Amino acid sequence: MLIRVALPKGRLMNSTAAILDKAGWGLDDYNEKSRLYRLKSSTRDDISAKIFQERDIPIQVAIGNYDIGICGLDWITEYTVIYPSSALLTVRDMGFGEGAVYAATMPGVIAGGEIITRGQAVRIVGEYPNLAEALALKMRLNHFAVYPLWGSADAYPPENADIILLPRKCESEIVSLGLQSLGKVVDFRACLIVNKDSLRSKDMSSILASINACIPAVFQQADASGEEFINIGATKQRMELQCEYDADTVRLALPDGHQQSHVRKIFDAAGIQMDDYPSSSGNRRPKSSLEGFFIKVIRPQDMPMQVAGGDYDLAITGRDWLTDHLYQFPSSPVKQMLDLKYGWVRIVAVVTNEAPVNSTTELQQLHCRQDSACRIAAEYINIADHYARTNHFGSYRIVPTWGATEAFLPEDADVLIENTETGSTLVKNNLKIIETLFESTACVIGGTRSDTSPLKAQRMAKFVELLRKALELG
């Protein structure tokens, strides 16, 4: 009987590989140099392993695509705290990968047992939205809003968040960021997880015993029920209306990552001087020659929600992320203000070459005939949901992913919603496009309620006009 195993990329990869090697699993390609997702064992014929982003593993094991997984307890708890009755079972603490998700604020935000907020709601941001909500309930906050992030949470306080959730190795790393730790929300040592149904019905004893023999006995069964990990008590809430900016200041979000060089090029062409962007030191508050502007560097995926929430007036992101946001929140007060014409990609629906379909209609009909739910994997979960609904897929399931989506086909999904520039990665992974949903480029987005003063509106319009002229000239 073949046992399917989901293994982590990233922070836990080396330690996991060492234990599996000791356990004699023979997964010779499970290392950072290898570009393979699917692993074959050189020693056992009962193991089929695949590499995932760690965050995907609890979902994959819970829905039964995999029997066994190895993953940090932070991502396990992020899943189990909201789906306590799922088929996910945490069976062993593996004894490595130490660290914790901490709740943190800027010093002075919590005083005398009260949290002092800048607006009506306590804004909690981080990559762990379910843990953030559990934390808010544990703290008995009267009024809170959770902003899920793709990353860079430490850039948000104090202007754009009251509490952030940050994964770090120890509390001193929180302090070194100039933040005040409120305490641990959850530890994140690596854990062995299994699907409950697989545990009941499959003989996995040989595999479990081999890995169990390599884990120090001192590590007991992990309890991943979530709530018990949050050691932060009830906190009263007090609102203090503070404003760091005058009403005329334009708050601009610029992208981190590979988009920075493109943005810098356009800014240079527009005659906008930037100091320390892109930043080699990780500075997230670059200065510019734009008068009356406050600039921060965050993830482009998070920008539409931030602009909609009124934390920024303008941002530079991709139309793909704006569309994903607007599909989820059609009434959101954010709109495209200028197409920057770089970063062109197509957002496509993709299936494996072996799939007997060449169009979305054929795919929909195939699942209708097979009487099966279509599994749609995507980083763009709202675009995927919109695609399924508008094409009348009937029964379908969205499988959220956090990267390496092309590896999901064909075992773990039936169709992907993915972006592609040349299509070469898709071809390399034996995939074919069955529909182009739309084309996306980078764009300036703005809040439709941001022009709160004539001067601010003038500054926003002037900025957009500067970039427009630079693009025309370039």
Partner 1 sequence: MQIDRCKGCTDLSEQDMLRFRSVETAFLEASKSYGYREVRTPTLEYLYLFTSAGTLTPGMLRRVYSFLDWDGWSGERVVLKPDTTIPTARMYIERMQHKGHTARLSYVANSFVFEETGTKARERWQCGAELIGGGGELADAELIAFACDAVKRMGLDKIEIKLSHAGLIRGLLSSLGLDNTEQDAVLSRILDGELDTLENVHTAKPQVVEALKLLLNTKGRSAGFLKNLRALFAADISEAQNELSSFISTIEMLEAMELPYEIDFTSGKGFEYYTGIIYRLFAGDENIGGGGRYDKLIEMMGGATAPAAGFGLYIDRLSSLINIDDLYIPVSQRVSVSIVPGAMKLGCEVSGLLRKAGFIVLTALDGKPSYDCGWELKVLPDEPRLVLRNCGTDEMNNCSDAMEALMLIGVG
Cis peptide before 278 (omega within 30 of 0): yes
Q: Looking at the chain, how many residues does it have? A: 474
The minimum distance between CB 379 and partner 1, in angstroms, equals: 18
Q: Are 437 and 383 in contact (CB under 8 A)?
A: yes
Query: Which of the ranges 100-108, 145-153, 187-195, 269-277 carries the binding residues for partner 1, by CB under 8 A?
Result: 145-153
The minimum distance between CB 133 and partner 1, in angstroms, equals: 7
3-state secondary structure of 280: coil
68: contact with partner 1 by CB under 8 A: no
> What amino acid occupies position 191?
C
Q: Are 460 and 294 in contact (CB under 8 A)?
A: no
- What count of Cα atoms within 13 Å lies in the side-chain half-sphere of residue 380? 27
Q: Are 394 and 372 in contact (CB under 8 A)?
A: no
112: contact with partner 1 by CB under 8 A: no
CA–CA separation, 60 vs 29, rounded Å?
Answer: 21
Residue 116 or 204 with smaller CB distance to partner 1: 116
CA–CA separation, 466 vs 448, rounded Å?
Answer: 20
Q: Are 154 and 164 in contact (CB under 8 A)?
A: yes
454: contact with partner 1 by CB under 8 A: no
- What ranges make up the beta strands (E) of 158-263? 163-168, 180-187, 190-195, 236-239, 250-255
84: contact with partner 1 by CB under 8 A: yes
CA–CA separation, 24 vs 257, rounded Å?
Answer: 39
389: contact with partner 1 by CB under 8 A: no
3-state secondary structure of 239: strand
Residue 4 or 367 with smaller CB distance to partner 1: 367
340: contact with partner 1 by CB under 8 A: no
211: contact with partner 1 by CB under 8 A: no
The minimum distance between CB 331 and partner 1, in angstroms, equals: 6
DSSP letters for 395-449: SEEEEE-SS-GGGGTTTT-SEEEEEESSSHHHHHTTEEEEEEEEEE-EEEEEETT
Q: Are 396 and 376 in contact (CB under 8 A)?
A: yes
Of 21, 28, 133, 276, the one binding partner 1 by CB under 8 A: 133
Other C-beta atoms within 10 Å of 182: how many? Answer: 23
Residue 255 or 309 with smaller CB distance to partner 1: 309
Residue 22 or 140 with smaller CB distance to partner 1: 140
Query: Which of the ranges 94-102, 133-141, 163-171, 425-433 carries the binding residues for partner 1, by CB under 8 A?
Result: 133-141
The alpha carbon of 301 is separated from its chain's Cα centroid by a whole number of angstroms, namely 9
User: Which residues inside 393-432 make contact with partner 1, applying CB under 8 A?
Assistant: 394-395
Residue 1 or 234 with smaller CB distance to partner 1: 234
142: contact with partner 1 by CB under 8 A: yes
Residue 130 or 279 with smaller CB distance to partner 1: 130
Residue 313 or 418 with smaller CB distance to partner 1: 313
Other C-beta atoms within 10 Å of 102: how many? Answer: 24
The minimum distance between CB 406 and partner 1, in angstroms, equals: 28
474: contact with partner 1 by CB under 8 A: no
User: Which residues inside 300-329 make contact with partner 1, applying CB under 8 A?
Assistant: 305, 308-310, 325, 328-329
143: contact with partner 1 by CB under 8 A: yes
Of 35, 85, 424, 472, the one binding partner 1 by CB under 8 A: 85
The minimum distance between CB 433 and partner 1, in angstroms, equals: 28
- What ranges make up the beta strands (E) of 188-259? 190-195, 236-239, 250-255
333: contact with partner 1 by CB under 8 A: yes
446: contact with partner 1 by CB under 8 A: no
111: contact with partner 1 by CB under 8 A: no
Of 57, 61, 141, 416, the one binding partner 1 by CB under 8 A: 141
Burial of 65 from C-beta contacts in 10 A (0-12 / 13-18 / 19+): buried
233: contact with partner 1 by CB under 8 A: yes
Residue 25 or 387 with smaller CB distance to partner 1: 387
386: contact with partner 1 by CB under 8 A: no
Of 212, 288, 332, 336, the one binding partner 1 by CB under 8 A: 332
Binding site for partner 1 (CB under 8 A): 84-85, 121, 123, 133-134, 136-138, 140-147, 227, 233-234, 236, 305, 308-310, 325, 328-334, 368, 371, 394-395
